[in-house]
Structure 1
């Protein structure tokens, strides 16, 4: 599948929750308009200043600052929420799926276009992980009480995170502070393994 690449330094996207983004560079303003017009997915990729490295599972891109991005990315559909007179915009990525970058195209555009293979994840929590899942839920509830002061927002989040997939994504997005750990969790394909990693980090 063809997608448009939005590289951000040490930022990854779990493609489970909506992701707000401020777009201000002219090339990416153009890219967002193209994505909206053609309904093309946008891949938010963890960008690095280092050269591409097979061991680090990165791939080279055409960019004056970032030399490579992690191959594993989250993809979403663009929804433009707000446009300013100077062209800058606030957009949100509506989650689609996780994918692996297979190739970077040379299309003579000011931004990168890529070929992405969707990744199928194992999303069933096994019986032996149910207690760990419940503990994650309690830890997240405690954290959210101090973070979300708006009761309506808090209640909506608690309802959404009854879904284990959303719970894992929310903890990764909101609670985990390490960019490398966020990316590492994205690269895990089994929700049970993600639960183990998150619980170890939170404890």
Structure 2
């Protein structure tokens, strides 16, 4: 989903952003994430974001943190997304879309008076996130598509191959990473990959491990 605002430099990004902890969620630059917002604190976050800079930091709770904790510890790296779609449902929920802008490292979590959490992000490591298509010529597209075909076949799933073949490498890698069914640690590894080539390699490696594990389980069940 296109954004009306294009960020060209890191200093155009806000110095403080709300953070939305969401386990096993992955937002990447220029990726799109639809979200169903219903908790009062996050409804307030969306309303404040609409009135302000419209950026929200999607970040995972630390995998070791208590899932039931009110304020679980956070991982150090998340992705700031711009609120690019918003709809009211009539029953008190908001349906939104976040479009990824740039990753960030949590420099400091603030003592906030808002019901939602806020942080001071450092974007310095991720300046290239603002450059569309950066590094996509280095991606081993054939390996990625081969692994995708194996995964779909193993799970008896269909795909829009015409759309996949037309997709640029950046859009393909990031969409597959965001849609992948992997757990919090794998999603975090995909987020923290230093470049698009490394992200594609991690995605292929993790998928191949899952396929091998599934084949091993199937063999065991037949014995």
Classify the TM-score, shorter chain. 0.7 to 0.9
Deviation of the 1:64 alpha carbon: 5.0
1:198 aligns with 2:203: yes
Task: Give the TM-score of the pair, scaled to structure 2.
Answer: 0.70
Count residues with an aligned counterpart: 184
Separation of aligned partners in 2, 1:79 and 1:201: 31
Contact 1:29 1:89 in 2 (8 A): yes
1:15 aligns with 2:29: yes
Aligned partner of 1:179 among 171, 176, 184: 184
Contact 2:77 2:105 in 1 (8 A): yes
In structure 1, the gaps of 5 or more residues are 53-62
Q: 1:140 to 1:190 in 2, by over 3 A?
A: same
1:86 aligns with 2:91: yes
Contact 2:105 2:121 in 1 (8 A): yes
Larger strand proportion of the pair: 1
Bigger Rg, structure 1 or 2: 2
State the match for 1:76 in structure 2.
81
State the match for 2:166 in structure 1.
159
State the match for 1:60 in structure 2.
none
Separation of aligned partners in 2, 1:125 and 1:156: 17
In structure 2, the gaps of 5 or more residues are 1-14, 209-223
Query: What secondary structure, in the 3-state scheme, does the structure 1 residue paired with 2:28 have?
Result: coil
RMSD of the alignment, in Å? 2.9
Matches within 5 A, 1:1-203: 1-48=15-62, 50=64, 64-118=69-123, 119-121=126-128, 123-125=134-136, 132-140=140-148, 143=152, 146-148=157-159, 155-160=162-167, 163-203=168-208
Contact 1:13 1:44 in 2 (8 A): yes
Q: Deviations over 1:73-93 (max 9, x none)?
A: 111111343212332111000
Deviation of the 1:107 alpha carbon: 2.6
Deviation of the 1:101 alpha carbon: 1.2
Q: Deviations over 1:22-61 (max 9, x none)?
A: 0000111111011111123101111137469xxxxxxxxx
